[in-house]
Amino acid sequence: MQPKPFILKVLDIVSIIVLAVAAYLALVFAPTEAVMGQVQRVFYFHIGTAWVGLLGFVIAAVAGVTYLITKNARWDRFEVAAVEVSTVFFFITIVLGSIWARPAWNTWWTWDPRLTTAAITELIYIAYFMLRQGIEDPEKRARFGAVYTLLGGISAPITFMVIRLFRTIHPVVIGSQSAAAQGGFSMTSDMKVAFFFSLFAFTVIFIDLMWHRIRLGSLEDKVEQLKLKVSM
């Protein structure tokens, strides 16, 4: 395996720093929201992780299409990395949302359009790994995975748009929200600083983790090829 590139080492350090700064801005710098209290601070990481989660699913769909066109295994590794990192972040999003919902909505979970589409999206991508595990032939696995992410990718924009199109209790931060929305609030300038920095921080962390996962994918492919050679 190639040694870790210098830029990746720098990106690792930058990721730790921006995560620490994002946590500081969310937990200390941003003012306490008057109605919900401290739990509103969960919102900064909730949105940050949701942003990279949904972004990664769209990136995976694009990588899937590119793989189907080029048949280059590099795009398959890229796709797997995007799905894996996004699935982790989107899981955090869902749980943070649930924790926020308990005091805000007086329930951990409700089958609201946004929560339902988010849960379906997460399950789609958990099933993606089950699908890949079940296929031994690497080429077939990559082809099936690419088609799957292409279809699964549709769930990301649906999840994003659902609170803007349907009657839902989930608040909308940017744009107009449903009349039924509960727990919404208008951001002060300090809240906006924490909010936008959180988006930036999670984008940096996402790129860093993606890069590590792509390198891991290359190593997995190398080991798989070596196993084939040795068994022959």
Judge whether 200 and 18 are in contact, CB under 8 Å.
yes
Q: Site residues for other proteins, window 62-101 (CB under 8 A)?
A: 85, 88, 91-92, 95-96, 99-100
Q: What span, in angstroms and rounded, lies between the C-alpha atoms of 30 and 154? A: 34
Q: What span, in angstroms and rounded, lies between the C-alpha atoms of 227 and 206? A: 31
Indicate the residue among 19 and 150 with the shorter CB distance to other proteins: 19
Q: Site residues for other proteins, window 26-55 (CB under 8 A)?
A: 27, 32, 34-42, 45-46, 49
Residue 146 token pair: 């690419």
Q: How far is CA 174 from the centre of its chain?
A: 19
Min separation Cβ 176 and other proteins, Å: 27
Judge whether 38 and 103 are in contact, CB under 8 Å.
no
Min separation Cβ 7 and other proteins, Å: 18
DSSP 92-122: HHHHHHHHHHHHHHSSS----HHHHHHHHHH
Q: Site residues for other proteins, window 189-218 (CB under 8 A)?
A: 205, 209, 212-213, 215-216
Indicate the residue among 15 and 168 with the shorter CB distance to other proteins: 15
Q: Which amino acid is at 15?
A: S
Q: Which residues pair with 159 in a beta bridge?
A: none
**Ramachandran area for residue 228 (φ above 0: left; ψ -120 to 50: alpha; else beta):** alpha
Min separation Cβ 36 and other proteins, Å: 6
Min separation Cβ 89 and other proteins, Å: 8
Contact residues for other proteins, defined by CB under 8 A? 1, 19, 23, 27, 32, 34-42, 45-46, 49, 85, 88, 91-92, 95-96, 99-100, 102-103, 205, 209, 212-213, 215-216, 219-220, 222-223, 226-227, 229-230
